[in-house]
Amino acid sequence: MPPKINRKAIKINEGKKHRKIEEDRLGMRIQSETIELTKDEKGVVGISIGGGGPYCPCVYVVQVFDKSPAFKDGRIRCGDEIVAINGITVKGERKSAVAQLIQVSLNPVKITINKLDDANTKGKTLDILIKKVKHKVVEFMDQDSADALGLSRAILTNDPLAEKEKILEENAEFYRHLVAYFGDMFQYQQKISECQKEFGSIFCDLAAHEKQQTANEAFSAFGDKHRMIAKKQSESAVPLQKMVSDLQVYIDHVVPDTRLTIKKYLDVKYEYLSYCLKLKELDDEEVEFIAIQEPLYRVETGNYEYRMMLRCRQECRGRFMKMRDDVMVKIELLDQKHVRDIAQHLATFAKTMSKVHLECAEILKDRIDVPIEIDLEQLNLSIREGGTNGGKSSRKDVDQGEEAAEMTLNDNPLEGDLIDVESDDLTFRESSRISLPRNSIGDTSQPLLGSDSPTAELSLIDIS
């Protein structure tokens, strides 16, 4: 048998008279229900109450604490009126007396409540929407600027998502730099491959037009090696292209999707802060009227507007907490993906570049003999002579060469148009020399001579 409650100690006078004022429910419906709650080890049910005498005829729930018996039960919500405790009517009583009655009650505690219906749809007023817009504007201001403009606001302290959002922006900027760098590397590899391929084609064309066998083989070897290098460079560009594509997907799809989720979270956050600010304004208004000892209509008629805002704030807080947890999990997964993918991409890049350089060095390791001799001193001398003598001197030398050749053919018909290299006649040797000088500096038809050529002219001599 449960012990009797000392009603005198609780000081509840059920017969106390109150001024009869009709309650203004603002068009909302109520529904009565009796709930049994079991106290936790601390002896509380987990609710905070407000209202009550002498100003308000209703005692209502202001807050339901997380992980409390009332929170786990889920039937009691903010704004609901407490009508009776264990069958004892508490209508119009002081909230301190109602709290004491709950405290001395034994398990289970029977609480009769009037539940508010349709509070969520009626609570989102124009004032809430304006406060929501104001919070969006103030979010990007510093505190001093907002105070100077006189913008009242509710601030969410210790919001861990603000730091996570900053990290997300830093990661996105880092990925943009990586995409730009690897994109340039991909373009460079492609250009190097094209240049090497062009070199290979040129050397192979030279080999096709070369009559000497050793020179043909040398040019062919050069062309083949350049083409092999071009192939290796082109193959190395494939992993780089895939790497750039993966990083671009992170920037183009993952980051915008996360930002959209954060935007939805911020929208719920601003709405929640708007309800908090509205309730603070209503509390301040109530305190002002109590200070001047004037009755406030909404308080005397059941304070339904305040209770409606309490219900809306609770519902919005639930959405806000759920959205914040989802965003936190999503950003945490992105951080893990960021760390894992960056390490993988950088390792792939290092292995790819190391592999292509080693393969190119292996291709160029073998030595190729080049059977081409170029007398640079003779070439420079011919350029200087061509630039000094001009076109007239060149034409004169050509005419002299033609006359000398004709004289040689006429004087020695039986020698087979050959010149005797043992002849001591210097005049004849000078006349038998054919000079093929350069017509201009831009002429590149100068024959390639050996390093032992004595003059800047080409002597046609039969060596048998």
Same domain as 395, residue 304: no
Cβ count within 10 A of residue 33: 13
Return the H-helix or E-strand segment holding 59. Answer: strand 59-64
- Residues across the chain: 464
Give pLDDT, residue 20.
57
Give pLDDT, residue 385.
64
Output the domain CATH number for residue 230.
1.20.1270.60
Degrees, nearest 5: CA angle 455-459-462 = 140
Residue 185 forms part of a structural domain: yes
Same domain as 345, residue 252: yes
Same domain as 384, residue 349: no
Same domain as 322, residue 212: yes
Residue 289 forms part of a structural domain: yes
Give pLDDT, residue 83.
92
Residues 6 or more apart in contact with residue 213 via CB below 8 angstroms: none
Last residue of a domain, one of 302, 335, 363: 363
Same domain as 331, residue 202: yes
Residue 406 forms part of a structural domain: yes
* Interatomic CA distance for residues 50 and 203, integer angstroms: 94
Same domain as 319, residue 221: yes
Residue 17 forms part of a structural domain: yes
Q: What is the pLDDT of residues 382-419, one digit of tens each?
A: 666 665 555 545 454 545 544 544 444 444 444 444 44
Give pLDDT, residue 61.
92
Same domain as 113, residue 243: no
Same domain as 324, residue 178: yes
Give pLDDT, residue 29.
84
Amino acid present at 454: P
Give pLDDT, residue 147.
65
* Strand partners for 113: 33, 82
Domain interval for residue 449: 373-464
Output the domain CATH number for residue 73.
2.30.42.10
C-alpha radius of gyration, the chain, whole number: 49
Same domain as 458, residue 382: yes
Residue 208 token pair: 């096709």
Last residue of a domain, one of 301, 328, 363: 363
Same domain as 308, residue 393: no
Residue 66 token pair: 């997380």
Residue 144 forms part of a structural domain: no
Q: How far is CA 146 from the centre of its chain?
A: 31
Last residue of a domain, one of 363, 397, 426: 363
Same domain as 266, residue 393: no
Residue 138 forms part of a structural domain: no
Same domain as 198, residue 304: yes
Residue 167 forms part of a structural domain: yes
Residues 6 or more apart in contact with residue 139 via CB below 8 angstroms: 266, 270
pLDDT < 70: residue spans in the chain? 1-21, 118-121, 140, 142-143, 146-159, 369-464
Number of domains present in the structure of the chain: 3
Residue 124 forms part of a structural domain: no
